[in-house]
């Protein structure tokens, strides 16, 4: 009790001190002047209250706003004085608003906590931005700038401009300059500065810019007897082209210039309402079985004053000739709208160019995936002339190998590094086993080979379902592959696809080196071009076929790990890529590394272009690609780049 009395006396003393003439206009005094709106704030009135606090010129306004927003302002019931305190119940340690001195602990029952709602707090946040833009902490400045980028008004333009010159962080300074120009477009004081701000953004593709320009070009449809001279007219509308007769009639009716359009249900209701003894104006209801008859009797009712008038088609035509329909811009100054139109024209041109670049990046990314999936098939098909329908399942085996490694090694970076060579080893061994047990016994019998590998494909898919279930499992990419490389609001590419591109490029160079600079490559090329001559020179074609099939299968396993990073791993994973792989090989040229690269580029680009024209139907892209391949091989049956040898002889 003594502590409470002592604290109350301290409060009284400090209040008396605050009200001396020397400190008559301190923060506490200003708060007392606005106490009613502070105690019961609303989103509608809090803006005026905050402006009153700012305009008072007293110290401590930003700190008070922060405390108010955080529900750390208390009103002492005894003397109606505001203090700072923590946001809790029980004993509250009150702090004097002006001096910052701790006055002691009070029971929360002796004071009222000021609790602004979320709407009020959002207004306070916006008001605090003007101070946070110049805060010494760059994180605070960045947060304030982010708040302005989401929601800004004319009041923030001046403090934003004032903060640009003192900004030391180059990134924040660039963002501030951009936002300042965007706010100038909407809230600039003069027409010339707004026009200059618009022209500064010519060719920019930012979404925030289009969000600033589009409201300037919003229009309202107006009807009048003649075009006004004091309005910023966007265009004059032609009846039947820009606006239908029904819409024009509705517009006239809304302005009271014409009767409301006649609705059939209302017409029929009026006829029934005026019916008596099965007749309307002497006409039997049974005779009103056509639209013409109903309209005629309704017209009779109108002439008798028993129904609402309406316009017949001829009357509507005559009325429409008397009025002009046009659109006016919401922005009243034509200089602003002209600059906005010119700006949007340049923006649209830049958008189209960037969309083409983004489409090109997507095509390049897809081509990299197809190259990885098809290169192993190209090698085996080129050397052995074997149609391996189980190639997709080697891709699936590689993806599942990566998944199993991640179950044992939780570090995703290390697990991927281990999974890549392990997937190669597993699928290389599987390919060698398949070649030794099946392929070598069916050489030069393509139909039997196709059927055998197709059966093995089905068996491997079922085996995967038995081992891992029918549900897809994730193959998680390392955190440093999360996100995308963003060039602007239109052009971007994920880091995973960039990594796959470099992986495909590395394999392309490695395979070219192996085939052109190593003994194994020399023997592979010899067997590809003329197996009998190669055999007579001491090369074992059987061994080369085994190694080639294993190499192609191993590359498919690595492709499976890469594909699994962005696609769900399931037993059907490889089947989703086998068709594209065969198309890539056929179009590029059987057995040619460079041809496969060219084929992957062509197939990937074609698919993306087709999807761009018809993004909602990916099946159409597959169909059109197959049609394209059929037509293409009619003119180039050996592909883009055909190697000499067996293919030429056949």
> How does pLDDT run across 295-340, given as a tens digit for each residue?
888 888 888 888 877 777 778 888 888 999 999 999 999 999 999 9
The CATH code of domain 351-476+485-649 reads 1.10.3470
Q: Is the pLDDT higher at 281 or at 190?
A: 190
pLDDT at residue number 9: 42
For 449-554, strand residue ranges (E) read: 484-486, 492-494
503-539 per-position pLDDT tens digit: 999 988 988 888 888 888 888 878 877 778 888 888 8
Instruction: State the Cα–Cα distance between residues 182 and 205, nearest whole angstrom.
Output: 13
pLDDT, residue 27, reads 86
Q: Give pLDDT, residue 648.
A: 43
Residue 357, classed as helix, strand or coil, is helix
Please state the φ and ψ torsions of residue 394, each to the nearest 5 degrees.
-65, -35
CA atoms within 13 A on the CB side of 251: 20
pLDDT band of residue 88 (cuts 50, 70, 90) is: confident
CB atoms within 10 A of CB 8: 17
What whole-number distance in Å separates Cα of residue 15 and Cα of residue 471?
A: 71
pLDDT in tens, 18-73: 444 434 568 888 888 888 888 888 888 888 888 888 888 888 888 888 888 888 88
Please provide residue 340's backbone torsions phi and psi, each rounded to the nearest 5 degrees.
Answer: -65, -40
Q: Where are the domains of the chain?
A: 2-121, 133-217, 263-310, 351-476+485-649
Q: Is 488 exposed, middle or buried (0-12, 13-18, 19+ CB in 10 A)?
A: middle
Average pLDDT over residues 384-409: 91
pTM (predicted TM-score): 0.69
């Amino acid at each position: 009790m003594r502590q409470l009395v002592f604290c109350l006396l301290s409060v009284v003393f400090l209040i008396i001190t605050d009200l001396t003439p020397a400190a008559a206009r301190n923060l506490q005094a200003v708060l007392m002047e606005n106490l009613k709106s502070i105690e019961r704030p609303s989103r509608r009135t809090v803006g005026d209250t905050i402006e009153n606090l700012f305009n008072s010129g007293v110290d401590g306004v930003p700190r008070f706003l922060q405390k108010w927003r955080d529900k750390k302002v208390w009103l002492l019931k005894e003397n109606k004085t505001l203090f700072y305190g923590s946001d809790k119940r029980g004993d509250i340690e009150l702090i004097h608003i002006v001096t910052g001195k701790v006055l002691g602990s009070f029971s929360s029952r002796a004071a009222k906590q000021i609790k602004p709602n979320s709407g009020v707090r959002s207004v306070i946040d916006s008001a605090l931005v003007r101070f946070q833009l110049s805060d010494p902490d760059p994180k605070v400045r960045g947060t304030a700038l982010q708040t302005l980028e989401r929601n800004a008004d004319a009041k923030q333009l001046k403090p934003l401009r004032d903060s640009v010159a003192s900004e030391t962080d180059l990134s924040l300074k660039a963002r501030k300059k951009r936002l300042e120009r965007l706010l100038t477009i909407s809230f600039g004081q003069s027409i010339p500065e707004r026009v200059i701000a618009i022209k500064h953004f010519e060719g920019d593709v930012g979404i925030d810019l289009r969000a600033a320009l589009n409201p300037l070009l919003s229009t309202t449809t107006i009807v009048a007897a003649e075009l006004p001279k004091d309005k910023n007219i966007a265009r004059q509308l032609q009846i039947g082209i820009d606006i239908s007769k029904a819409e024009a009639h509705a517009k006239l009716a809304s302005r009271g210039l014409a009767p409301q359009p006649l609705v059939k249900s209302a017409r029929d209701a009026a006829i029934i309402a005026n019916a008596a003894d099965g007749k309307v104006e002497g006409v039997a209801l049974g005779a009103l079985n056509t639209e013409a008859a109903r309209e005629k009797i309704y017209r009779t009712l109108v002439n008798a004053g028993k129904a609402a008038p309406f316009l017949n088609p001829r009357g509507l035509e005559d009325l429409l000739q008397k009025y002009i329909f046009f659109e006016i811009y919401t922005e009243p100054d034509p200089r602003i709208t002209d600059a906005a139109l010119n700006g949007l024209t340049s923006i649209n041109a830049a958008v189209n160019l960037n969309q083409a670049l983004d489409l090109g990046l997507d095509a390049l990314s897809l081509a990299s995936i197809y190259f990885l999936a098809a290169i192993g098939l190209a090698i085996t098909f080129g050397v052995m002339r074997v149609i391996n329908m189980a190639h997709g399942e080697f891709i699936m085996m590689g993806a599942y190998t990566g998944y199993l490694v991640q179950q044992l090694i939780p570090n995703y970076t290390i697990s991927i590094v281990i999974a890549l060579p392990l997937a190669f080893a597993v699928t290389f061994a599987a390919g060698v086993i398949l070649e030794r047990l099946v392929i070598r016994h069916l050489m030069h019998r393509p139909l039997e080979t196709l059927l055998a590998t197709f059966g093995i494909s089905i068996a491997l898919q079922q085996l995967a379902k038995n081992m891992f279930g029918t549900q897809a499992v994730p193959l998680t990419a390392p955190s440093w592959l999360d996100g995308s490389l963003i060039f602007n609001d239109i052009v971007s590419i994920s880091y995973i696809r960039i990594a796959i591109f470099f992986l495909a490029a590395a394999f392309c160079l490695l395979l070219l080196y192996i085939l052109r600079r190593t003994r194994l490559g020399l023997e592979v090329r010899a067997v590809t071009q003329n197996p009998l001559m190669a055999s007579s020179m001491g090369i074992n074609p059987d061994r080369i076929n085994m190694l080639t099939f294993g190499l192609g299968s191993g590359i498919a396993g690595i492709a499976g790990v890469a594909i699994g990073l962005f696609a769900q791993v399931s037993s059907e994973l490889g089947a989703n890529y086998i068709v594209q792989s065969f198309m890539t090989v056929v179009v590029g040229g059987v057995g040619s590394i460079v041809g496969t690269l060219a084929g992957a580029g062509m197939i990937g680009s074609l698919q993306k272009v087709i999807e761009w024209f018809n993004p909602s139907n990916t099946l159409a892209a597959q169909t059109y690609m197959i049609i394209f391949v059929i037509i293409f091989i009619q003119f180039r049956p050996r592909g883009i780049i055909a190697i000499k040898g067996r293919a030429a002889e056949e």
